């Protein structure tokens, strides 16, 4: 797909706001300009901004080319973050609403290093948080300073996000992928996401692999069995005073267990008594791309957070992406969605040893068999 000279600076772990780009109202501490709201579909709207050349990014930092005459970095002031197994976080970096085009291109790196759009039934990617029916061809509106995280794409040429009738469906994994996001009504304005390398996995196995990628810090805590909505870690109340930060070695051990291809059973569903619960709060720093020539020293996307619960009574694991934090506000990614659930019989000894090391002196964990 032909493009003009790139104008995006991509960082491996952070992106900077455009110098002179309109920022959300509020003080320097990141007070949001207005209440958070999820993205909604709207008709394409014309923009008064001047045309800008297409943007592209690679996995490594790239230098911005000279600005074209009349181009303003605020013409398409968005950031695209990537975390987990190819999950996107689209951040509106302006104080006013922005609209993004329904035409999103997913590209895969070829063996010669070039990027080519993946084949698939149109549209291969949708701006949706819940797979609800949407008006064909409608743009998606983001409120100023808000973050939108759509249903992730799972590497299929059809129905890769939501169930869909498919005449043919090809698995496009593994490979290196990136998303090209465009402005509504002005598709010459593009931003290309950071590159993500996805393995050849599907369903919960791919999601678990995503939870293992790029953990920057983590905490373990003992949980009470009596679950209630909104409490502690995925609804289970914390036992105060049991919180322990995880060392780098412990994080690496946990990531290895999460990414394991063996030891989990996603098909079974048991009726069992939960006990000996350990909660894990995992923090990540998403890679992000921003439109235009960047400056100003502010990271629009600060972190993503996931929660994991290890239930040693049922040998069950619950895991869920909880939120994305930006310089302006926190966005709840749960929105009533249930966590991923699986059983870890094959990894029980490894996960139990991890939990005992993370929470030394816990007599109940020491007695688990």
Whether 268 is in a domain gets the answer: yes
pLDDT at 28: 28
In a domain, 72, yes or no: no
- Phi, psi dihedrals of residue 295, rounded to the nearest 5°: -170, 175
| Total count of domains within the chain | 1
Give, for 173, the enclosing helix (H) or strand (E).
none
SS3 per-residue string spanning the chain: CCCCCCCCEEECCCCCCECCCCCCCCCCCCCCCCCCCCCEEECCCCCCCCCCCCCCCCCCCCCCCCCCCCCCHHHCCEEEEEECCCEEEEEECCCCCEEECCCCEEEEECCCCCEEECCCCCCCCCCCCCCCCCCCCCEEEECCCCEECCCCCCCECCCCCCCCCCCCCCECCCEEEEEEEEECCEEEEEEECCCEEECCCCHHHHHHHHHCCCEEEEEEEEECCCCCCCCCECCECECCCCCEECCHHHHHHHHHHHCCCCCCECCCCCCCCCCCEEEEEEEECCEEEECCCECCCCCCEEEEEEEEEEECCCCEEEEEEEEEEECCCEEECCCCCCCEEEECHHHHHHHHHHHHHHCCCCHHHHHCC
Residue 95 lies in a domain: no
Residues of the chain with pLDDT under 70: 1-74, 121-122, 292-297
Judging by DSSP bridges, how do beta strands 87-92 and 147-148 pair with one another?
A: antiparallel
On whether residue 284 sits in a domain, the answer given is yes
Nearest to 234 by CA among 271, 274, 284, 285: 274
Residue 349 located in a structural domain: yes
Q: CB count, 10 Å around CB of 3?
A: 14
pLDDT in the model for residue 124? 85
The string over 320-346, giving b where at least 16 C-beta atoms fall within 10 Å of a residue's C-beta and e elsewhere, is bbbbbbbbbbbbebeeeeebbbbbbee
The pair of structure tokens assigned to 325 is: 């934090």
Tens digits of residue pLDDT in 5-44: 333 333 333 333 333 333 433 332 333 333 333 344 343 3
118 inside domain: no
pLDDT score, position 102: 93
Residues paired with 307 in a beta bridge: 281, 320
Which pLDDT belongs to residue 166?
85
Query: Does the residue 160 lie in any domain?
Result: no
Adjacent-strand bridge partners of 42: 139
- pLDDT at residue 296, rounded to an integer: 54
Q: Are strands 87-92 and 330-332 parallel, antiparallel or unpaired?
A: unpaired
Helix then strand count (H, E) for the chain reads: 4, 20
- Is residue 108 domain-resident? no
Interstrand relation of 175-183 and 105-109 (parallel, antiparallel or unpaired): antiparallel
The DSSP H or E segment spanning 134 is: none
Length of the chain: 369
What residue numbers bound the domain in which 222 lies?
Answer: 203-367
Q: What is the per-residue pLDDT across 319-332, written as a single tens digit (0 to 9) for each? A: 999 999 998 899 99
- As to burial, measured by CB atoms within 10 angstroms (0-12 exposed, 13-18 middle, 19+ buried), residue 361 is exposed
Residues 6+ apart with CB under 8 A from 202: 154, 155, 171, 173
């Amino acid at each position: 797909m032909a493009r003009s000279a790139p104008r995006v600076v991509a960082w491996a772990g952070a992106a900077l706001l455009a110098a002179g780009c309109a920022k959300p109202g509020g003080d320097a501490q990141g007070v949001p300009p207005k209440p958070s709201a999820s993205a909604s579909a709207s008709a394409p709207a014309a923009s008064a901004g001047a045309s800008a050349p297409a943007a592209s990014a690679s996995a490594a930092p790239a230098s911005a080319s000279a600005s074209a005459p009349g181009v303003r970095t605020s013409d398409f002031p968005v950031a695209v973050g990537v975390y987990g197994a190819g999950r996107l976080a689209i951040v509106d970096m302006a104080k006013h609403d922005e609209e993004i085009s329904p035409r999103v291109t997913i590209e895969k790196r070829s063996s010669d290093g070039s990027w080519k759009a993946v084949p698939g039934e149109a549209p291969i990617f949708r701006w949706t948080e819940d797979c609800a029916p949407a008006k064909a061809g409608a743009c998606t509106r983001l409120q100023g300073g808000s973050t939108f995280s759509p249903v992730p794409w799972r590497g299929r040429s059809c129905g890769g996000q939501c169930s869909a009738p498919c005449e043919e469906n090809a698995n496009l994994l593994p490979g290196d992928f990136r998303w090209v996001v465009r402005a509504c009504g002005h598709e010459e304005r593009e931003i290309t996401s950071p590159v993500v390398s996805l393995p050849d996995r599907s369903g919960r196995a791919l999601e678990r692999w995503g939870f293992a990628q790029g953990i920057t810090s983590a905490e373990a805590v003992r949980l009470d069995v009596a679950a209630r909505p909104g409490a502690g870690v995925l609804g289970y109340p914390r036992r105060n005073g049991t919180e322990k930060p995880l060392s780098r070695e412990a994080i690496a051990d946990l990531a290895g267990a999460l990414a394991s291809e063996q030891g989990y059973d996603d098909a079974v569903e048991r009726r069992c008594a939960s006990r000996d619960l350990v909660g894990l709060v995992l923090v990540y720093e998403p890679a992000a791309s921003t439109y235009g020539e960047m400056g100003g020293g502010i990271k629009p996307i600060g972190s993503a957070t996931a929660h994991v619960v290890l239930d040693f009574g049922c040998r069950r694991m619950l895991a869920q992406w909880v939120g994305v934090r930006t310089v302006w506000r926190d966005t709840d990614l749960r929105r009533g969605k249930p966590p991923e659930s699986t059983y870890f019989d094959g990894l029980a000894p490894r996960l139990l040893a991890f939990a005992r090391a993370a929470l030394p002196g816990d007599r109940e964990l020491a007695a688990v068999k």
